[in-house]
Structures are given as structure tokens and as C-alpha cells.
Amino acid sequence: MNIWLVLLLGGLITFGIRFSLIYLFGRVEFPETMRKALHYVPPAVLSALIFPELFIREGALTLSLDNHRMIAGLIAILVAWFSKNTLITILAGMAALFLLQFFL
Amino acid sequence: MTQQSKKFWEGVRAEIPLLIGVFPFGMIYGALALNAGLPALAAQLMSSIVFAGSAQFITTQLVRESTPELIIVLTIAVVNLRHMLYSASLAPRLASLSTRWKALLSYLLTDEAYAPTIIHYEKEGLTPYSHWFLLGTGLTLWITWQVSTALGIFLGAAIPEEWSLDFALPLTFIAMLIPVLKNRPAIAAAVSAGIVALIAYSLPYRLGLILAALVGIAIGTFLEESQ
């Protein structure tokens, strides 16, 4: 793992994306479908990261109640839904995982 | 006060309420990056070179799972593609500036700098010095992000392993995900991407993540177009 390469390329690409249309203004047309598709990047990427963290334990799909991370994650989803607050969500999920690990 | 500095400080002031959320977020990032095994210097430099909150959290997660470099970079690109919307939206407003100004403002163009700036443009219209407003918001956010990351790295070193701190990462993603589930296509994008991520979990090089994201994006876009 070369983390410095990731930093360099990740930084260049991020800057390139932000600079792209500001720089190319008037020279390219931004397709409408692309504009729509970009709205679905956050929900798609985020849940592609979340699902395996909650439902896969030791390499296998684990939907049982012993899966503490699944339960704590579902609690966090409910808290996020009602609070709309990042910090409260993280604290609630961490507290839930801690209690589950401690008492069960 | 000159027109320039007036606009600049207006931008700084507009950014301040957002910092309440950004500061702890930066600290959590710093602590988690260290916890995931990033060297302290790399964790800090990511905040100044990449300078993109969600992409940094995701990179942290992928580094923890020893994901190949290329997949991490690709994921950063996909995650930050949304900034192209901001780039498109600001382009006509910045068109008259020099390339150097455009480059500087692009580097500082994050969600948190864009949001107050676009509101400002819509309220006040385009004035000769309005780009100083964006410089004010962007620079304020940049400094806050660097300082909060450093503090997080410093404190993160003291957090014991048994606290399962790594679980704060998916929790952060949950907190980011729920507010964007505003309509059916967005919910469908999230659920389908999640399911594909589970099915494709064992694909090599964590290609499942990219596949899942693409399926989710395609389904969301398709549903919106067919509505």
C-alpha cells in the first residue's frame, strides 16, 4: 500500500474535477443525464460502504441478532432519520454497540 | 475597508455557523485515520491535499481494508464527481477571472464553501468582487479543517483499541446517507447499491464497491428519467 501515491493522485483528481467546468466554461456542454446521475452518487456510494460493514461478519452474510454491528447500525439509522444530526448519530451508534458488547 | 475585504469578511462570517459541524467532523477524521493505520503525516496531508471530507473518510475505510491504490483513487474520483455540479454552477460567475484565481477557488471548492456562496450569489447577484466571498468561505473552512484534523490525530493516539472506534466510520456514513434519501429514486439507489455490495463482496480488489455504486447510480437515474 503506497499511501503517498493515493494522496497525490486523489488530490490531483479532486482538484481536476473542481477545476474542470470552471476552466472549460463555454467550451463544453454538460449533459443532462450526467447532471441527474451525479445526484445519486452519494446515496449509492455511501450505502455500498455501509451494508457490508453491518451485515458481513468474518466474510459471511450474518443477519442474526448476535451481529451487534448490524443492530447498532440499525439503531443509528433510526437516530439519523429523526435527529438529522451527525454527532448524535455517531454517539448513539457507538453507545449501542458498546452496550450490546458489554451486556450480551 | 476596501470592497474586496468587505466581501471576504462577509464570506468568513457566512461560513462560521457551518464550522460547528465541521470542527468535530475534522477531529473524528483525524482520530479514525490514525486508528486505520495511516501515518500521522499522511492523515494530515490528506486534509490539505485532497481536502474533501467524505472522500477522506472513505479513503480511511479503504486503507483499513488494504484496498489496492488504484481502487481507492477511483473511489475518490467517483465520490468527488459531485463537485462537477458545483464547478458547472459557479463557472459562469467566475468566467471573467484569471486562471490563477480560478485554480485557487477550485481548490477551495467544497460542499461547505459552495453552499453559502451560491446562496450569496443568488441573493446579491454578480458583483465585481463577489469571488472574494468564496475566498472567505473557502479559506475559513480550509484553516478549520487543518486545525481540527491535527487535533483529532493528537487525541486519536490516546484512544484505546477496545473502544471499537472503527465502527464510527460506518456510523459517519449512515449520518451522511440518511439526509440525502429525499425521494424514491434516491432510496432505490441506496438500497440497490447496498444489496449489490453484499452480493459482490467477495470480488477481488474490492471491485464490488465500484460495481455497487454504478448499479445504484444507474437505477436512481433511470427511475428519475422514467418518472
**Domain boundary assignment for chain A:** 1-30, 39-103
Mean pLDDT of B58-85: 92
Determine the residue among B25, B97, B171, B176 to mutate to test chain A binding: the one whose Cβ has the most chain A Cβ atoms within 10 Å: B171
Of B88, B25, B14, B24, nearest to B53 by C-alpha is: B25
A89 touches chain B (CB under 8 A): yes
Phi/psi class of residue B205: alpha, beta or left (left: φ > 0; alpha: ψ in -120 to 50)? left
Contact list, A3 vs chain B (CB under 8 Å)? 38-39, 42, 63
For the stretch B39-66, pLDDT in tens is 999 999 999 999 998 899 999 999 998 9
* Partner-chain residue, chosen from A7, A19, A35, that has the shortest CB–CB distance to B46: A7
Of B50, B77, B13, B45, nearest to B153 by C-alpha is: B45
Is 90 exceeded by the pLDDT of residue B85? no
Look up residue A64 and give its DSSP letter: S
Q: Do B76 and A76 touch (CB under 8 A)?
A: no
Indicate the burial class of A63 (C-beta count within 10 angstroms; 0-12, 13-18, 19 or more): exposed
Of B39, B64, B30, B46, nearest to B166 by C-alpha is: B64
Mean pLDDT of B12-27: 88
Q: Do B45 and A36 touch (CB under 8 A)?
A: no
* Partner-chain residue, chosen from A14, A41, A93, that has the shortest CB–CB distance to B217: A41
Cell of B16: 462560521
Least confident range of B118-122, B131-135, B203-207, B214-218: B203-207
Please tell me the distance in Å from A104's CA to the nearest CA on chain B.
16
> Global pTM?
0.83
Those residues of chain A that have pLDDT short of 50 are: none
Give B163 or B41, the one with higher predicted confidence: B41
For the stretch B86-127, pLDDT in tens is 898 899 899 999 999 999 999 999 988 998 998 898 888 888
